[in-house]
């Protein structure tokens, strides 16, 4: 997996701040449901113009980030891997 460029890291940070501020009211194009996952959303930095996605869900009052990965159109295989990793990590958090 390639490193996330600094400019994209900053965009991810801003997207997370929006999520913290607006919570479940953060809508498209900043957040979107992942169709291939049961209860997972993708945070879409720069209003979806970023090639990176943050995979998260809400557990109780908290938003839990399970993984960061590429946009599906950039790398379908690595997108699927990141989604699977996020689902597993979130299940682990829920079990705690």
pLDDT exceeds 60 at position 1: no
Secondary structure class of 48 (helix, strand, coil) = helix
Given a cut of 90, whether residue 96 has pLDDT beyond it is no
* Domain around 34: 6-95
pLDDT tens for 31-88 read 999 999 989 999 999 999 999 999 999 999 999 999 999 999 999 999 999 999 999 9
Structural domain includes residue 51: yes
- 91 lies in a domain? yes
14-30 pLDDT per residue, tens: 999 999 999 999 999 99
Cis, peptide link before residue 29, omega less than 30° from 0? yes
96 versus 65: the higher-pLDDT residue is 65
How many structural domains are present in the chain?
1
Task: Please tell me the predicted confidence (pLDDT) of residue 95.
Answer: 87
Q: Could you tell me if residue 11 is inside a domain?
A: yes
List the beta bridge partners of residue 13: none
Is 87 within a domain?
Answer: yes
Q: Is residue 1 in some structural domain?
A: no
Q: Is residue 47 part of a domain?
A: yes
Domain membership of residue 48 (yes or no) is: yes
pLDDT for the residue numbered 94: 87
Which residues contact residue 41 at a Cβ distance below 8 angstroms, ignoring those fewer than 6 apart? 31, 32, 33, 34, 55, 56, 57
Residue 46, in any domain of the structure = yes
User: Could you give the angle at the alpha carbon of 8 between the alpha carbons of 50 and 39, nearest 5°?
Assistant: 60
């Amino acid at each position: 997996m390639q490193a996330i460029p600094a400019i994209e890291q900053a965009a991810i940070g801003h997207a997370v701040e929006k999520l913290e501020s607006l919570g479940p009211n953060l809508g498209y194009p900043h957040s979107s449901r992942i169709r291939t996952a049961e209860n997972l959303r993708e945070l879409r930095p720069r209003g979806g113009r970023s090639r990176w996605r943050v995979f998260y869900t809400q557990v109780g009052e908290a938003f839990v980030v399970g993984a960061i990965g590429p946009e599906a159109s950039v790398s379908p295989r690595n997108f699927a891997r990141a989604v699977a990793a996020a689902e597993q990590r979130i299940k682990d958090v829920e079990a705690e």
